[in-house]
Amino acid sequence: MHYAGAGAVATFVIAGVALAGLAYVVAFSTEALGERLGPGATGLLQSTLGNLPEFFVVLFALQKGEVLVAQTSLIGSLLANGLLVLGLTIVVGARAGEGGLMRFRPRLPNDTMTLLMLAVFIIVILGIAQSSGDVAATHAKAISAIASGCLLIVYALWLRSYLRSDAPAAPSAGGPSLPLATTIGLLAAAGVGAALASDWFISALAPAIDSLGISRAFAGLVIVAIAGNAVENATALVLAAKGQADLAISVVKNSVAQIAVFLFPALILVSLLLAHTLTFVVPPVYIAALALSAISIWQITGDGEAREYEGAALVALYVIVAAVAWFE
């Protein structure tokens, strides 16, 4: 459809479906590879590869000058995973859990909130400098680059500690479901496919949203964010329904941590090589949304258990933010 000059809206929809399909291949392959690893390493791998389409989507958006879409898609990914996907995971997990309660180890949720609050701190500080006309705001690019380096160092230190404390993989009676070579081949093919589909997705984005009358903020915050994070959307819910609460939470929380302190800062550093750069300066309404969301997520998941209504509350928060983006 891309090379045949098909309509922008149809190409945009098909490219989004293609990204979701590739996300399924990544999820299936990662689950097979995860049979050789512990739950923490599996969740980390799932989130890392699951964020691959998001990386390409943002990169191609920056190359095509869609800075607002690139920025809001990253913010949207944080909110979609931290509110929508986590909320739905808790709803499903609480229904599958004993006594209507989803129980999980509290360390990862608390670690994730520490990392997320570090990223939010930088965003809030730069936002205040920008709105108050502080001289530091004129150096937002340099400050963002320095902060990105700090975030990546902290993430590496946390990752080392987290993986060292991971539990070993549970032995499987029938052995791994796929040979290692097949699993790696599927992951490599899905990675190449994600790069191509992301390019076509972004190429059709601007004419599609112009035709549909959708704001770029809503397209980045909701449509691009959800399409780029389809792995977490599907995998976490399936795992929660199976009663694998720790692994389900690991997939979602690892994704939130990675976007906040790995993907976002890494893309900021990569964007320095492009004509259009990315910074931590975001609109005030999304600064508030990120800060309040971080507090809400910590409040609900910090004790290692959650009920159905708490998951529904997180979903409601996401719907409210999406409604704000819709009317921008």
Percent of the chain clearing pLDDT 70 (strictly above):
91
Residue 138 pLDDT level (bands cut at 50, 70, 90): very high
For residue 4, what are its two tokens? Answer: 């045949």
Distance separating alpha carbons of residues 122 and 124, to the nearest angstrom: 6
Distance separating alpha carbons of residues 33 and 49, to the nearest angstrom: 12
Least confident of 34-38, 55-59, 130-134, 196-200: 34-38
Cα atoms in the 13 Å half-sphere on the side-chain side of 110: 8
User: Looking at residue 232, what is its pLDDT?
Assistant: 62
If one compares 223 and 101, the residue with the highest pLDDT of the two is 101
If one compares 317 and 67, the residue with the highest pLDDT of the two is 317
**pLDDT tens, position by position, 166-203:** 666 665 555 557 787 888 888 888 878 887 888 888 88
Angle at 210 between CA 205 and CA 211, to 5 degrees: 100
For residue 273, what are its two tokens? Answer: 């090589």
Distance separating alpha carbons of residues 250 and 297, to the nearest angstrom: 14
92 near 233, Cβ under 8 Å?
no
Residue 120 pLDDT level (bands cut at 50, 70, 90): very high
**pLDDT tens, position by position, 272-285:** 999 999 999 998 99
Instruction: Say what the alpha-carbon torsion angle 283, 285, 291, 293 is, to the nearest 10 degrees.
Output: -130
Distance separating alpha carbons of residues 75 and 92, to the nearest angstrom: 25
Residue 164 pLDDT level (bands cut at 50, 70, 90): confident
**pLDDT tens, position by position, 106-118:** 888 899 889 999 9
- Which residues on adjacent β-strands are paired with residue 102? 306
User: Looking at residue 109, what is its pLDDT?
Assistant: 87
Residue 15 pLDDT level (bands cut at 50, 70, 90): confident
User: Looking at residue 43, what is its pLDDT?
Assistant: 65
| Burial class of residue 315, CB neighbours in 10 A (0-12, 13-18, 19+) | middle
Compute the average pLDDT of residues 232-250.
82
For residue 284, what are its two tokens? Answer: 């005030």
Compute the average pLDDT of residues 94-113.
90
